[in-house]
Structure 1
Amino acid sequence: MNQESAAIEYKCITPPRNHCVYTSCYCEENVWKLCEYIKNHSTCSLDEVYAVFISNERKMIPIWKQKSSRGDEPVIWVGTIQCNLFMKLRVIPADVYLKKFASDRSHMKDSDGNWRMPPPEYSCLETPESKMNLDDFICMDPRVGFGEIYSLLDFVNHFGVK
């Protein structure tokens, strides 16, 4: 399949941006809400949808063109300047993500318990087993958490247009 035929077959499975449930700086929950939308509205088979966490052993990945960046500077979602560019990707099937991801949002509070950024208006995401397991999703150790760990090259080879 070439890129032209892939573009012809592409079907939008998410709502328009202005209808998305979105809270700045809560990426993992925004993705969870997109997966929930796809499941509830049956816009495609949930077997075709994945949540992807990008990280590495040092939990430092620069990401360019973010709203919180300044100009062409990257945002590094860790409080440091040094970065390790060897990214890995944890790919989790959407149905597993919906069933297993939990966040009590404690990572978004400072040492005094104040919010670094305002939280979403809906309740925290939790499962019967957990109220907080975000670290299991960010961790790039294949023995921890859910889904599969890929290098960038392996990810492109597995999920890229062939």
Structure 2
Amino acid sequence: MTTSAIEQSSLDTSCFHHTPYYCEENVYLLCNKLCTDGIADTDGSDLFVVFISNEKKQIALWHQKASKRADGIVLWDYHVICIQRRRGGESPLVWDLDSSLPFPSPLASYVLETIRPSFQLFPDYHRLFRIVHAPVFLRCFASDRRHMKDPDGKWIAEPPLHEPIVAEDGTVHNLNEYFTISAADANDASIYSAKEAVFTQKYGVVVEENQLEELFSQLAIQ
């Protein structure tokens, strides 16, 4: 099925693994499934994992299923989505298993509805985006889920049933390096340098909110 056909008829999110509050592992498995099901390139080269957070670990996103409000707004400490670049100048697609928007959604629509850049937020809620090329992420990411335990070692939220994810080099936990994001990380990241570095850097590149769509327009497959 082509990505154009997917966009016209949204997929059922129930076809994908989802454990609440473990968005990083959900996206890891989603990337693998998109590759094996032929929806993405077999090596994941058209996929990018995007961590959204800030120094305060307080980000506002709309149209989230976990919200109890009509507008779907949630204040997350961090969130993780997958963005798929496309050929021929078509809009990239956003895969967000926690969103109530069509699955997947065009990036432009997702930004407008979920990020809402025109909505004036307090500085503490300013959002930053760490973009990691999926082939790199799938090799390097690891989580033993320690971030989901309280000081007594009890689960804050029940973990996934599958085994914790271990990186190819044997690393058992580096999630913090992905979701720890500060404005200083993005200060020197021009779009040109970011589009070159995103394919090689273990922890990807960090861009500002107003750079996200521009970066993916530069990453478009011809």
The TM-score by the shorter chain falls in which range? Answer: 0.7 to 0.9
Matched, 1:25 2:82: no
The answer to whether the 8 A contact 1:90-1:140 is kept is: yes
Work out the number of aligned pairs and report it.
Answer: 152
Percent of pairs identical after alignment? 30
Matched, 1:158 2:215: yes
The answer to whether the 8 A contact 2:148-2:155 is kept is: yes
TM-score scaled by length of structure 1: 0.80
Deviates more, 1:13-22 or 1:147-156: 13-22
Name the aligned partner's letter for residue 10 of structure 1. S
Q: Using the alignment, how far apart are the partners of 2:17 and 2:131 within structure 1?
A: 22
Match of 2:53 in 1: 55
CA RMSD of aligned residues (A): 2.9
Name the aligned partner's letter for residue 36 of structure 1. N
After superposition, residues 67-146 of structure 1 pair within 5 angstroms as: 67-71=65-69, 72=71, 74-78=73-77, 84-127=124-167, 128-140=169-181, 142=185, 146=203
The answer to whether the 8 A contact 1:102-1:126 is kept is: yes
List runs of 5+ in structure 2 lacking aligned partners. 78-121, 187-200
Deviates more, 1:28-37 or 1:43-52: 43-52
Q: 1:147 aligns with which of 204, 207, 214?
A: 204
Deviates more, 1:147-156 or 1:61-70: 61-70
Listed one character per residue, the Cα deviations across residues 47-99 of structure 1 (whole Å, up to 9, x for unaligned) are 11101000112221122332332214632234xxx871221100111111111
List runs of 5+ in structure 1 lacking aligned partners. 1-7
1:159/1:109 Cα in 2 relative to 1: closer, same or farther (>3 Å)?
same
Q: Residue 129 of structure 2: SS of its match in structure 1?
A: strand
TM-score scaled by length of structure 2: 0.60
1:11/1:44 Cα in 2 relative to 1: closer, same or farther (>3 Å)?
farther
